[in-house]
Amino acid sequence: MFSNQDQTPQSADGSVETSTPVDSGSGDVAAQPIVLAAIGSVLYSWYHFYVQENEAYGLFTGLWAPTLLAFANYLQND
């Protein structure tokens, strides 16, 4: 029924608008160690939860990952 060709954005004068990719700059460099830290916190929490059988500390350290990823997202959009 609808095709993607009908969805081309146009400005008020009828010309087609094109977008260029946004360069995120230094956000990519700053976010990479944070993503690695988030992965490390998940592995660390699994270790405490399953190996050490300390469920409370495992859950606590497991909650670091979404916080770190949210901070990495903030740095990329800044």
Confidence bin at 57 (pLDDT 50/70/90): very high
The pLDDT of residue 35 is 87
Cβ-count burial 34-72 (b if 16+ within 10 Å, e if not): beebbeebeebbeebbeeeeeeeebeebbebbeebbeeb
Q: What is the pTM of this model?
A: 0.57
Query: Tens digit of pLDDT for each residue in 9-38?
Result: 666 676 666 655 555 555 555 568 888 999
What secondary structure letter does DSSP report for 12? T
Percent of the chain's residues with pLDDT above 70: 59
Statement: residue 5 has pLDDT above 60: no
